[in-house]
């Protein structure tokens, strides 16, 4: 059975989403208002380490602004960047000049005269006829579709309650690192985060909000993306408010457990199998989330680069 996807996706940007969550969460109906006490100072401080070591209620309530462990991100980036940058260069291949095999000259004059045009000779006449409408350069760049060198990322921003805060720091770092490496290689990247859950373990219906955090031509904010996708302080405070707000928006009662979280595979099943992706313009989509160790993050990076390299070859 195909899953049912109820996704609020009309946000212009992250700020638009944040304002919507504040308004919705502060005006919850009877269906969902029972969840509000979980975000009070008293309740949060009862289990403050659940949000990460050294967390305070003050920083949660005022809004976290810095990814909790930037050193971890830097370590992983340098651990894979040199090796994978070489892989990208080899597999994606830089855009190179091509030369016409047929030309004049005995010593590769066509390469020395790259800006000259070749003329066509009519086979039906011995006279040389120049056809200006079919000029061909001796040296040229082969045309490559712009869409071919562009990818779209979707990152699931949640984890089950049993996952340790320090493990959550790996949640979306593979997407951050992949985005940086691809942008460095000249690949356009669009990034969205999805905050949602399945109503139950059967995963027949999902409630979520889809938020664009980077458009193709926008610069990548490493700290912001890591914070949204991998920081337990954001994911277990602001993101949970957003999750409850999504249930409220669709006039549904939020499960007591807040529903079942999604890893990368479950996120892909949700968006692809439900038919949601038919409304998207991107041809190349990649899914992240649910990686909670260094080895899982590195494996995800390697698997993704192999897949991307295959279809981005010129």
Tens-place pLDDT, residues 258-279:
999 999 999 999 999 988 988 8
Paired sense of beta strands 188-198 and 150-156, if any: parallel
The pair phi, psi for residue 194, each rounded to 5°, is -120, 125
Residue 147: predicted pLDDT: 54
Residue 113: predicted pLDDT: 45
Mean of pLDDT over the chain: 83
How confident is residue 202, by pLDDT bands cut at 50, 70 and 90?
confident
- Please state at what angle helix 239-249 crosses helix 14-25, rounded to 10 degrees: 70
Residue 207: predicted pLDDT: 96
Mean pLDDT of the 171-200 span: 92
How much is the pTM? 0.81
Report whether pLDDT(106) > 70.
Answer: no
Report whether pLDDT(115) > 50.
Answer: no
C-alpha distances out from residue 228 to 72, 73, 272, Å: 15, 14, 23
How confident is residue 84, by pLDDT bands cut at 50, 70 and 90?
low
How confident is residue 119, by pLDDT bands cut at 50, 70 and 90?
very low
Residue 155: predicted pLDDT: 97
Tokens, residue 307 = 């897949």
Report whether pLDDT(62) > 60.
Answer: yes
Percentage with pLDDT > 70 across the chain: 78
Tokens, residue 45 = 């401080």
CA–CA gap between residue 286 and residue 282 (Å, rounded): 10
CA–CA gap between residue 311 and residue 314 (Å, rounded): 8
Give the lowest-confidence range in 7-11, 73-77, 240-244, 270-274: 73-77
Residues paired with 191 in a beta bridge: 153, 214
Residue of higher predicted confidence among 203 and 209 = 209
Burial of 196 (0-12, 13-18, 19+ CB in 10 A): buried
Report whether pLDDT(291) > 50.
Answer: yes
């Amino acid at each position: 059975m195909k899953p049912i996807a109820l996704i609020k996706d009309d946000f212009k940007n992250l700020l638009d989403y944040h304002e919507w969550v504040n308004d919705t969460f502060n005006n919850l109906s009877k269906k969902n208002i029972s969840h509000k006490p979980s975000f009070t100072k008293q309740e949060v401080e009862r289990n403050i380490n659940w949000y990460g070591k050294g967390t305070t209620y003050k920083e949660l309530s005022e809004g976290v602004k810095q990814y909790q462990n930037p050193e971890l991100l830097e370590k992983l980036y340098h651990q894979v960047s040199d090796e994978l940058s070489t892989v990208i260069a080899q597999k994606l291949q830089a855009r190179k000049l091509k030369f016409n095999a047929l030309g004049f000259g005995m010593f590769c004059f066509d390469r020395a005269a790259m800006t000259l045009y070749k003329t066509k000779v009519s086979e039906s006449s011995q006279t040389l006829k120049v056809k200006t409408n079919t000029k061909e350069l001796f040296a040229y760049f082969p045309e490559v579709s712009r869409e071919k060198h562009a990818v779209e990322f979707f990152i699931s921003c949640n984890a089950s309650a049993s996952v340790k805060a320090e493990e959550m720091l790996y949640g979306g770092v593979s997407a951050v690192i992949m985005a940086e490496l691809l942008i460095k290689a000249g690949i356009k990247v669009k990034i969205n985060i999805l905050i949602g859950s399945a109503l139950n373990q059967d995963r027949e219906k999902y409630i979520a909000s889809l938020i664009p955090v980077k458009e193709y031509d926008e610069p990548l904010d490493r700290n912001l993306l890591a914070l949204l996708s991998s920081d337990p302080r954001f994911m277990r405070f602001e993101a949970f408010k957003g999750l409850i707000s999504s249930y409220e928006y669709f006039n549904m009662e939020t499960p007591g457990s807040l529903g079942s979280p999604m890893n990368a595979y479950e996120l892909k099943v949700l968006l692809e199998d439900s038919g949601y992706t038919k409304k998207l313009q991107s041809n190349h989509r990649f899914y992240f989330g649910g990686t909670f160790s260094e080895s899982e993050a590195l494996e995800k990076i390697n698997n993704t680069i192999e897949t991307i390299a295959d279809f981005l070859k010129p």
